[in-house]
Amino acid sequence: MSIKTLFTLVTLAVAAVAAPSHRATCSGGRTASNAVCCKWFDVLDDIQANLFDGGECGEEVHELTFHDAIGFSKSNPKAGGGADGSIIAFSEIETNFPANLGTDDIVEQQRPLAIKHGVSFGDFIQFAGAVGVSNCVGGPRIQFLAGRSNVSVAAQLGTVPEPADSVTKILARMGDAGFSPSEVVDLLISHTVAAQDHVDPTIHGSPFDSTPSDFDPQFFVETLLKGTAFPGNGSQTGGALSPLPGEFRLASDGLLARDPRTACEWQSFVNNQALMVSRFEKVMAKMAVLGQNPRTLVDCSEVIPVPKKATSNTGFIPSGKTLRDIEASCKTKPFPKLPVVSGPIVPVPPVPPS
């Protein structure tokens, strides 16, 4: 080796060490640490414009993240492939499961977008879910790992918990998918931006709390209020008495809020929005890679928008109710004092259809 070649090699080595970290240039002047993340900016623009009407809090969309991923079982590897996109690929099987009623609309909205951008169904579902909740006031910023295979396995009937299931049955099913009782509560943070259409089909878009487009702790407060009436056409399988006109309570949510195995995690969120968001980010990151090997995926979290900050860290007692209406259920900690809104009971309006 000549001195000159050696010199060149040394210069190159020094240049490599000193080189500024190279970021890939993506569309719209945006950059990414890994070039494979660039296409997700285009997917982002498309779903913000066409799935979320210019960036609204996409509450129904993250339901699919769960219904796809939960087709996973430690005890029965044949139960499904986890977060693999099978709810889209095998929609004719999976969207007909009773627990997946109503998911067919979202599946058919997402399918053409995933195909258009050439991304796997599994990636698309988890990405859209993370973007949807990032649009909510106070929303989480969920990790997004890209690169799931487009090959999936149809989930088996019975992997998705149902609202009429007992707490023991729900915790057993979720435990078999790898989630502790506290993590089941953490996953249910999703219900703070959610509504029902199918448990009682006579009322549409009846939300699970009075602030369904805010990622706030109201769901955890209001599920603990004493139930007084049904918002729709009386008692339904999977429904329970709710505290406010127009508001819907799933039977499973009412029971999990009060069960000794889950009540303290439930109560921990009523005055702690920040804790709620951090727990949700953690458990959603876990759920999004069920059945996947995360080491084979690329971290494209930087594409997920930064949500607007929450306006308050605490939930409140809605007007017309008092702290005495709370059915406190955590045996080891007193229920915290919450702000009480004065005035008469205000009916909760339905969330508009998307």
Ligand X SMILES: *[C@@H]1O[C@H](CO)[C@@H](O)[C@H](O)[C@H]1NC(C)=O
Among residues 73, 69, 103, 94, which one has the least CA distance to residue 83? 69
Identify what 233 binds: ligand HEM, ligand X, none; CB under 5 to 8 Å per kind.
ligand X
Residue 209, marked binder: yes
Identify what 102 binds: ligand HEM, ligand X, none; CB under 5 to 8 Å per kind.
ligand HEM
Is residue 117 close enough to count as binding ligand HEM by CB under 6 A? no
Q: What 3-state class would DSSP assign to 319?
A: coil
Q: How many residues bind ligand HEM (CB under 6 A)?
A: 24
β-pair partners for 168: none
The nearest distance, CB 199 to ligand X, in angstroms, is 13
Identify what 120 binds: ligand HEM, ligand X, none; CB under 5 to 8 Å per kind.
ligand X
Residue 149: what residue type? Answer: S
Build a one-symbol-per-residue string for 80-109: x at contacts with ligand X by CB under 6 A, - elsewhere.
Answer: ---------x--------------------
Distance CA 240, CA 229 (A): 8
Among 115, 229, 323, 340, binds ligand X (CB under 6 A): 115
Among residues 62 and 279, whose Cβ is nearest to ligand HEM?
A: 62
Is residue 142 close enough to count as binding ligand HEM by CB under 6 A? no
Which of the residues 223 through 242 are near ligand X (CB under 6 A)?
233-234
Which of the residues 179 through 218 are near ligand X (CB under 6 A)?
202
- Report whether 334 contacts 328 (CB < 8 A): yes
Among residues 65 and 273, whose Cβ is nearest to ligand HEM?
A: 65
* H helix or E strand, kind and range, residue 32: strand 31-32
β-pair partners for 326: 225
Distance CA 105, CA 127 (A): 18
- Report whether 85 contacts 121 (CB < 8 A): yes
Build a one-symbol-per-residue string for 207-246: x at contacts with ligand HEM by CB under 6 A, - elsewhere.
Answer: -------------------------------x--------
Among residues 37 and 64, whose Cβ is nearest to ligand HEM?
A: 64
Among residues 120 and 126, whose Cβ is nearest to ligand X?
A: 120
The strand pair at 206-207 and 249-250 is best described as unpaired
Among 48, 86, 120, 196, binds ligand X (CB under 6 A): 120
Is residue 155 close enough to count as binding ligand HEM by CB under 6 A? no
Distance CA 200, CA 106 (A): 19
Q: What 3-state class would DSSP assign to 136?
A: coil
- Report whether 34 contacts 140 (CB < 8 A): no
The nearest distance, CB 269 to ligand X, in angstroms, is 34
Q: What is the DSSP string of 118-181?
A: T--HHHHHHHHHHHHHHTSBT------EE---S---PPPTT-S--TTS-HHHHHHHHHHTT--H
Q: For this structure, is 67 an active site residue?
A: yes
Q: Which residue among the candidates 62, 67, 198, 204 is catalytic per the annotation?
A: 67
Burial of 300 (0-12, 13-18, 19+ CB in 10 A): buried
Build a one-symbol-per-residue string for 240-279: x at contacts with ligand HEM by CB under 6 A, - elsewhere.
Answer: ----------x-x---------------------------
* Strand residue runs (E) in 206-253: 206-207, 239-240, 249-250
* H helix or E strand, kind and range, residue 24: strand 24-25
Contacts with ligand X by CB under 6 A lie at 89, 115, 118-121, 150, 202, 233-234
Q: Which residues are annotated as a binding site for Ca(2+)?
A: 68, 82, 84, 86, 192, 209, 211, 216
Residues designated as active site: 67
Binding residues: 68, 82, 84, 86, 191-192, 209, 211, 216
Q: Which residues are annotated binding-site positions for heme b?
A: 191
Residues found near ligand HEM in the complex (CB under 6 A): 59-60, 62-63, 65-66, 102, 161-163, 170, 187-188, 190-191, 194-199, 238, 250, 252
